[in-house]
C-alpha cells in the first residue's frame, strides 16, 4: 500500500537481514518515516527474505547466476528497484560491488553501511583486522555510495570500544547492535529532507559536514 508523502525506499541485503529488520521495526514503531517498497537480495537463500516478508515488505531475489554478466544482473536489479517506485536505495549488508551504471543512476540516493570506522578497513573481515591491529576503538559507518569502494562521502559513524577479550564474533555483535540503532536515525534524516549529497559534499540541515556525525556505543557490561 502506498503511504502518501513518504519517501519510498528499497533495501538490498545478502544475508541475515538483521539491519533490514531494525529498519522495518523503526518504520513499524513510527520512528522512521519511510515506506519500504522493496526488499531485494542477490541470494535466493538469504534468511532476510522471510524476515522482510513478515513485515509485509514486497521481496525479490535477483540471482547473478541467472544473468549473462554483472551488467545484465545490475540492469535487472535496477529495473526492479525503479518499478517499485523507490526514491532511496539502502544497502544493508549487500555484499556485491556495483558498476558505474548502477552507482550513477542512484547518485545521491544510495546509502551503504560498512562495519568499520571508514576510511579504516574497507572491504572484508573488518573485525578481524581491527583486532589484529590492536585497535582500542572500532565501529561502523554509513556513507553515500560512489564508484570508490567503501570510499563514498561519510554521513555518520558509531564508535564501539574494543574489549580486552573480544573475538571477531563478540565485536561484530556489538557493532551490529550499533548499526541497528544508527541506520534508522540516518534514514530518517534522509526521509525528512535533512540529509543530501551535493557533488562530493554531504549536507545535514543545510550545512556541509566537514566530518561524519560521530556517536558512541554504550560500553559493554563486563
Neighbours of 13 (CB within 10 A): 29
Give yes or no for residue 173 binding ligand GAR (CB under 6 A).
no
Q: In the complex with ligand GAR, which residue's Cβ is closer, 79 or 214?
A: 214
Q: Which residues contact 79 (CB under 8 A, 6 or more apart)?
A: none
Task: List, by residue number, the catalytic residues.
Answer: 114
Q: In the complex with ligand GAR, which residue's Cβ is closer, 115 or 153?
A: 115
Binding residues with ligand GAR: total (CB under 6 A): 15
DSSP 21: H
What are residue 9's DSSP bridge partners? Answer: 36, 88
Asked if 41 and 61 touch (Cβ cutoff 8 Å), the reply is: yes
Selection from 29, 6, 11 nearest residue 192 by Cα: 6
| Rounded least distance, CB 208 to ligand GAR, Å | 25
Q: Which residues between 75 and 114 bind ligand GAR (CB under 6 A)?
A: 92-93, 113-114
- Cell output for 127: 573485525
Would you call 11 helix, strand, or coil by DSSP?
Answer: strand
Q: C-alpha 16: how far from its chain's center?
A: 13
| Rounded least distance, CB 115 to ligand GAR, Å | 4
> Binding pattern to ligand GAR, positions 181-220, x when CB under 6 A?
----------------------------------------
Give yes or no for residue 18 binding ligand GAR (CB under 6 A).
yes
Residues lying near ligand GAR in the complex (CB under 6 A) are found at: 13, 15-19, 48, 92-93, 113-115, 140, 176, 179
Amino acid at each position: 500500500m502506498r503511504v502518501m508523502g513518504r519517501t519510498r525506499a528499497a533495501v538490498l541485503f545478502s544475508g541475515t537481514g538483521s539491519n533490514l529488520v531494525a529498519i522495518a521495526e523503526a518504520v513499524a514503531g513510527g520512528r522512521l518515516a519511510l515506506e519500504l517498497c522493496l526488499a531485494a537480495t542477490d541470494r535466493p537463500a538469504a534468511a532476510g527474505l522471510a524476515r522482510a516478508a513478515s513485515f509485509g515488505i514486497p521481496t525479490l531475489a535477483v540471482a547473478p547466476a541467472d544473468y549473462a554478466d554483472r551488467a545484465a544482473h545490475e540492469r535487472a536489479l535496477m529495473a526492479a528497484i525503479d518499478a517499485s517506485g523507490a526514491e532511496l536505495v539502502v544497502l544493508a549488508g549487500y555484499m556485491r560491488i556495483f558498476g558505474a551504471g548502477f552507482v550513477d543512476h542512484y547518485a545521491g540516493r544510495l546509502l551503504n553501511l560498512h562495519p568499520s570506522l571508514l576510511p579504516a578497513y574497507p572491504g572484508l573481515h573488518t573485525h578481524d583486522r581491527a583486532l589484529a591491529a590492536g585497535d582500542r576503538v572500532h565501529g561502523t559507518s554509513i556513507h553515500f555510495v560512489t564508484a570508490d569502494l567503501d570510499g563514498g562521502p561519510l554521513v555518520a559513524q558509531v564508535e564501539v570500544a574494543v574489549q580486552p577479550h573480544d573475538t571477531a564474533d563478540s565485536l561484530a555483535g556489538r557493532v551490529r547492535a550499533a548499526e541497528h540503532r544508527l541506520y534508522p536515525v540516518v534514514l530518517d534524516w534522509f526521509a525528512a529532507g535533512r540529509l543530501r549529497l551535493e557533488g562530493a559534499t554531504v549536507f545535514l540541515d543545510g550545512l556541509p559536514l566537514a566530518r561524519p556525525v560521530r556517536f558512541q556505543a554504550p560500553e559493554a557490561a563486563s
